[in-house]
Structures are given as C-alpha cells and as structure tokens.
Amino acid sequence: MSNLSTGAEQAISKHQKLSRITFLRRIMFMIVGSALVSVALEIFLVPNNIIDGGIVGISIILSHLTHFSLGIFLVLLNLPFLLIGYKQIGKTFALSTLFSVILMSIGTTLLHPVQAITIDPLLAAVFGGIILGIGVGLVIRSGGSLDGTEIVAILVSKKSPFSVGEIVMFFNFFILGSAGFVFGWDHAMYSLIAYFIAFKLIDITIEGLDQSKSVWIISDEYSRIGDSITSRLGRGVTYLQGEGAFTGDDKKVIFSVITRLEEAKLKSIVDELDPKAFLAIGNIHDVKGGRFKKKDIH
C-alpha cells in the first residue's frame, strides 16, 4: 500500500513540475512576444505613420491626434473587451491577454524616446510587419491575445455565419482605411503591406515551419510506398480499405501525417515508386497522439 502511495505522490509531483514548466514557458513567450510587438510599433511602424489593424491601429491614430502616450490607449481601449472576454470566454484567456497588453503598453512607453531604425516607409512596413507578426504569434500561441477586436470577433462568430477571421478583416478594413484620412493614402497602403506581412508571420509562428499536413495516397504500390514513408521519413502510416466508385475494385488507401518540410520528399517518394498514384495533401491545424512528434512551445 505504501509503494502505491509513493508512486502516486511521485506521479503528482512530476505532473506539478511539468505544469510549472509549462506555465513559466508560456509567461516567457508572452514577455518575448509583447516585447517584439513593442519594438515593431515604436522602432518601425509608429515613427513612419504606419498602423496595424484592430485596437492597436485605433490606438496609434488616437495617439497621433491627441499626442498622448500610445501605451495609455492600448490599455484603456482593450479593457472593455477584456471584461467581456473574462465573462464570456474564460478567466485564463482574459488574464493572459491583460498581462500581455500591459507588457506591450510598458514596452511602447519605454521605447518611445528611442530613435527609429529607418525612415524608409517600405523598409519599416516590411521589417515592422515581420517583427509584429512573430510577436503577436508568440502571444497567441501562449494562450493570450493583444487585441480586443479578436475577443469581439470570437463572440460575434458564435451568433453569425461569419468566421472569426472574416469579422476581424471587416473591422480592419475600416481601421486601415481611416489611416488614409489621418496619415495620407501612401501611408495607408504601407499599413496594408505591414498588416499582410504580419498576418502571414502570425500563421507561421502559431503553426510553425513544420506545420502538419495530412496525406492520402491511393496506389497499387501501397506497400512499397508505405514502407518508404516509414523508413525514409520516419513517419507512421495507416492503411485504409477503400472501394472505387466507378470500377468497384478494392483499393488500399495510405494515410499519414507529415510536416511542411517533408512534403517535397514525400512527393519524390511517390513519384519514384508510382508516378500514376493519386496523392492528396491538406493542412492540419493540430495533431496529437500516436507516433507523430512535433515540437511545440506550450
């Protein structure tokens, strides 16, 4: 009985240790992500009159018009949405978002006196967008957010036929468009460039360069192809039983999950063993369990 008790205590202790490590890791990435966003805003975008979408974009415009600190607007404008998120979405998400927003506000305030690295608006849009996207992606991947409009989009999407992305895009269409009236249409177009680059970098940061992909292969050489995927890519495969709709013939379907970086190699394996094989590859948002191993910062 004592051995069972000791084993249970060790398992609980190990779980608690892993939970602390996970928690500290998320905090670290929120800090790094918020710091990167602060750098992107104050060192690249704001000095060149380039805005981002959402609450950040509105804050930049209001800061420019009123000459008050950007950090003040970042906190004040996000607070109402955080209260909504706390009640409707969850305590952890709201607190993580509040923590990240406060860090971003402090960062922009501290960096405001620092001189911009470049006064070329195109360079500022490109590099500012890259840094901004990585920073926002790290915060989102760690369980938080930096923009209250995302909270509104999540809630509205539950009661409307529009997705979260479509709702956010709708908000940002007006916010980025307003930059044309405040800063001029050249700067509005630079803002669109920065926003597009940041949007892409957010995806890459969240999903990773090794984004998961599902693979479906139909071939008479299924055994050789499956063995090659296992031996040359180190990925597990599953054979599914299929039937041709037109011929009625039994078919073996290979199913596997690979990373984006392994896609080219897989295609070469299939072409090498059966150039006429049917091959379908699709993106997967998440994968867990089995033999699939993927690095994650959570």
Each of the 298 residues of the chain gets a pLDDT tens digit; together they read 445 445 445 544 544 555 778 788 889 989 999 999 999 999 999 999 998 888 888 999 999 999 898 989 999 998 888 887 777 667 777 888 889 999 999 999 999 888 888 899 999 999 999 999 999 888 888 877 888 777 777 677 777 777 666 677 788 888 888 888 888 889 999 999 998 898 888 877 876 655 678 899 999 898 999 999 998 888 889 899 887 777 767 888 999 988 776 888 889 899 989 998 999 998 776 666 665 555 443 4
Residues 6+ positions from 127 with CB-CB distance below 8 Å: 44, 117, 118
DSSP-assigned beta bridge partners for residue 254: 217, 239
pLDDT at position 183 is: 87
Q: How far is CA 78 from CA 93, 104, 152, 230, in A?
A: 14, 12, 11, 49
- CB-CB contact of 154 with 59 (8 Å): no
Token pair recorded at residue 186: 């050249």
Cα 258 to Cα 230: distance, rounded to the nearest angstrom: 11
Per-residue pLDDT, 4 = 45
The SS3 call for residue 145 is coil
This model's pTM is above 0.75? no
Structure tokens at 220: 């008479």
Q: What is the DSSP string of 278-294?
A: EEEEEE-S---STT---
DSSP state of 9: H
* Spatial CB neighbours of 148, under 8 Å, sequence gap ≥ 6: 54, 55, 77, 78, 80, 81, 82, 85
- Distance, in Å, from the CA atom of 280 to the CA atom of 214, rounded to the nearest integer, reads 8
pLDDT at residue 175, as a whole number: 87
User: Where does residue 5 fall: left (phi above 0), alpha (psi -120 to 50 degrees), or beta otherwise?
Assistant: alpha
